[in-house]
Amino acid sequence: MSRKVDIPRKICYEMLFDVFEKGGYANLVLKQRYRSDFELSDLDKNFVTAMFYGVITYSFTMDHYINRYAGKNSGKIDANVRILLRMGVWQLLFSRSIPPFAAVSTSVDLAKMITNPGGVGMVNAVLRSIAESVDTISGELGTAKFDVRYSLSKEISGLLIKWYGKQKAETIAASFLEQPETTARVNRLRCNAKSLREKLEAEGAGVQDGRFAPQALRIRLGSKSIEELDAFREGLFMIQDEAAMMASVIADPKPKERILDLCSAPGGKTCHLAELSGNQAEIVSLDIHESRLALVKQNADRLGLSSVKIDVADALTLDQERPEWIGSFDVVLVDVPCSGLGLLRRKPDIRLTANFERIMALLPLQADILQKSSLFVRPGGALVYCTCTINPDENDSQVDMFLASDSRFASEDISSRLPQKLMDMNPRHITSAGKGRLLLLPDEDGCDGFYIAKMRREK
């Protein structure tokens, strides 16, 4: 086999091993590997990226068929062989550009480099059987069980159906299999949407308007990375999904205000708050992870935002560490740790780790962080709670419990803050916005799943 064919697949295998067996985050594994000292052509890089994310996304579906065609030997498949099989099955079932014979032969050749003769034999036998049944499997997928059809664990499948009903859960799950979009948030302190569009198009990017946010542009990069664009290096934009943009828009920061962003890394909302306030507010950006706060500083520096102050702190003990801050902020924004279920198409490795036990463990932590965050809001100030999940227990239920426990706060109508385009395209938001809530769903709104609630301290 030629080096050109073999090396990309071997690289993909190694990255998948880091995700499946070492618990690596897919986006970080990919970024770190692409920054190492080997060279891949643009064509090979696109192939590796597609296979890498495709294998992670469809792992539950592929394991279903691997186990079926391995039969009584399915329990004997070790980690190396299962990853090799997943790579082969992805090429057979989900790639439109690789002939079946090539998917099988390249997988077998790679297996010879990775595993023992028994493992090579299993890769060969299982993939040949699946290759002969591709049409049958493709026909089955449309009517397969929910977890197989949408490549989710049985546990998460059951939760989605419980929360939304089967029909709605299906449209949400189907949307999580779509390709995520790359969205740029215009740094309006340095340019406007029109001038940024012209700059990006001159650099070879395809550009469309955002779906609903006026400050958003959807971009297609081709073979370039974001970091290679002059417009990025010049601080003309930041990558942020339109759903996440709404958190800062709803917070409605003003010049001269004192604003606290808890759990702020990597800084998308912090920087947006600074931009919306004309870089004239005092914005304190905190996070418990010092290494991730470096990303906040990098982004703020690149965007030219001098109003951001960064510090390491734990939201749960901040009242003890900074008692002088209690009751002193005009706006407190808290993006709590959550299950991340709104990000499944952008971060498919969440499919591998999300489960009921982990979600339940997050609930008391979220409640504690929300309660602690409220301590820093001044009378008349605003508290904004947000998550990147679509789980009602992490969203409305948390806000309802908080409001029931603290009579000083009340929900605030956010209708005037939402883009008219969003309200027009999804009337569901009209009612919820009047109650101070916004739940964005990928199947309805074309963005990440995201939740935001705004409360005002009345006394």
Per residue of the chain (459 residues), give pLDDT as tens.
343 448 899 999 999 999 999 999 999 999 888 877 567 788 888 899 999 999 999 999 999 999 999 998 888 899 999 999 999 999 999 997 899 999 999 999 999 999 999 999 999 999 999 999 999 999 999 999 999 999 999 999 999 999 999 999 999 999 999 999 999 999 999 999 999 999 999 999 999 999 999 999 999 987 778 988 999 999 999 999 999 999 999 999 999 999 999 989 899 999 999 999 999 999 999 999 888 899 999 999 999 999 999 999 999 999 999 999 999 999 999 999 999 999 999 999 999 999 999 999 999 999 999 999 999 999 999 999 999 999 999 999 999 999 999 999 999 999 999 999 999 999 999 999 999 999 999 999 999 999 999 999 998
The angle subtended at Cα 317 by Cα 315 and Cα 321, nearest 5°, is 110
Number of C-beta neighbours around residue 345 at 10 A: 19
Question: How far, in Å, are 374, 416, 458 from residue 326 at the CA level?
Answer: 9, 29, 16
At which residue do the structure tokens 């079932």 appear?
A: 93
Q: Give the span between the Cα atoms of 340 and 344, in whole angstroms.
A: 7
Paired sense of beta strands 258-262 and 282-287, if any: parallel
In degrees, rounded to 5, the angle at the alpha carbon of residue 187 between the alpha carbons of residues 185 and 191 is 120
Q: Is 64 left (phi over 0), alpha (psi -120 to 50) or beta?
A: alpha
φ, ψ dihedrals at 100, nearest 5°: -55, -40
Tell me the three state secondary structure of residue 35: coil
Q: How far is CA 388 from the centre of its chain?
A: 8
Q: Does residue 203 contact residue 146 with C-beta atoms inside 8 Å? A: no
In this structure, the dihedral spanned by the alpha carbons of residues 192, 236, 250 and 380, taken in order and rounded to 10 degrees, is -100
Sort 80 into a burial class: Cβ within 10 Å, 0-12 / 13-18 / 19+: middle
Pull the structure tokens for residue 212. 């609903």
Say if CB 15 and CB 22 are below 8 A apart: no
The region, left, alpha or beta by phi > 0 then psi within -120 to 50, assigned to residue 146 is alpha
Contact 411, 453 (CB under 8 A): yes
Does residue 215 sit in helix, strand or coil?
A: coil
Spatial distance between the Cα atoms of 289 and 197, rounded to a whole number of angstroms: 35
For the chain, domains (ranges, CATH) are: 3-144 (1.10.940.10), 182-239 (3.30.70.1170), 242-457 (3.40.50.150)
Sort 168 into a burial class: Cβ within 10 Å, 0-12 / 13-18 / 19+. middle
The pTM (predicted TM-score) of the whole model is: 0.94
Task: Name the residue among 333, 335, 348, 331 with its Cα closest to residue 388.
Answer: 335
What's the rounded Cα separation, in Å, for the pair 246 and 456?
A: 17
